[in-house]
């Protein structure tokens, strides 16, 4: 069987449509709420809830999830930077408590900033 010009056109069209179809299967920018502690990472549900981290971290810390946002509500660290950070909700936003090794951040599959890393 010989390849006709039409076949080439079809193949080219298929190639182009692949990218479109892939985007249908790969959800783009679905946010996940990630809690990082000294023990590792775990995903939190976006359901409204209070998480007491006393057992997990040995520190007086409370993480609150509400209306699709999260924050470190209470912490026994000296500077309260993580508490003052307030609510995090959009891709890449984070509340970080370095002394107690606790962070809450929003991770997105392919976050819409198009950046691979941030230097700060």
Partner 1 sequence: MRKTALFLCVILFTAACTDKFEKRQFYAMGTLVEITHKKDSSLKQVIRTINEYEEQVKSFEEKYNSAPAGSAFEISPLWEILFKKSYDYKAISKDRFDIRALSLTGLYGFPEGPYDLPSPERYAAATDAIKNMPLLFVDGKLVKEDERLRISTGAFSKGMIVDKAVEVMKQNGALSGIINAGGDLYAFGKKNKSRWRVGIRHPDDSNKVISTISISDKAVATSGDYERFFMKNGIRYNHIFDMVTMEPASLYRSVSVIADNCETADGLSTVFFLLPEADAAEACKRTGTPVLIYTHDDRVVKLCGWESFEN
Q: Which residues bind partner 1 (CB under 8 A)?
A: 10-11, 14-15, 18-19, 21-22, 34, 36, 38, 40-41, 78-79, 90, 92-94, 96, 98-99, 101, 103, 105, 107, 113-120
* CB 10 to partner 1: min, Å: 7
Complex with partner 1: residue 49 or 110, whichever CB lies closer: 110
Q: How far is the CB of 49 from partner 1 (least distance, A)?
A: 22
Please classify residue 82 by burial: count the beta carbons closer than 10 Å to its beta carbon, then call 0-12 exposed, 13-18 middle and 19+ buried: buried
Instruction: Answer for the pair 28, 111: CB distance below 8 angstroms, yes or no.
Output: no
Residues in contact with 37: Cβ distance below 8 Å, sequence separation at least 6, in sequence order = 53, 56, 57, 101, 102
């Amino acid at each position: 069987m010989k390849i006709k010009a039409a076949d080439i056109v079809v193949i080219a069209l298929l190639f182009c449509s692949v990218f479109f179809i892939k985007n249908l299967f790969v959800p783009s920018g679905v946010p996940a709420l990630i809690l990082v502690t000294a023990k590792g990472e775990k995903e939190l549900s976006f359901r409204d809830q209070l998480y007491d981290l006393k057992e997990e971290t040995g520190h007086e810390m409370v993480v609150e999830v509400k209306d699709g946002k999260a924050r470190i509500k209470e912490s026994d660290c000296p500077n309260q930077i993580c508490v003052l950070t307030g609510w995090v909700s959009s891709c890449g936003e984070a509340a970080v408590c370095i002394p107690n090794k606790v962070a809450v951040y929003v991770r997105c599959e392919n976050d819409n900033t198009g950046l691979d890393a941030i230097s700060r």
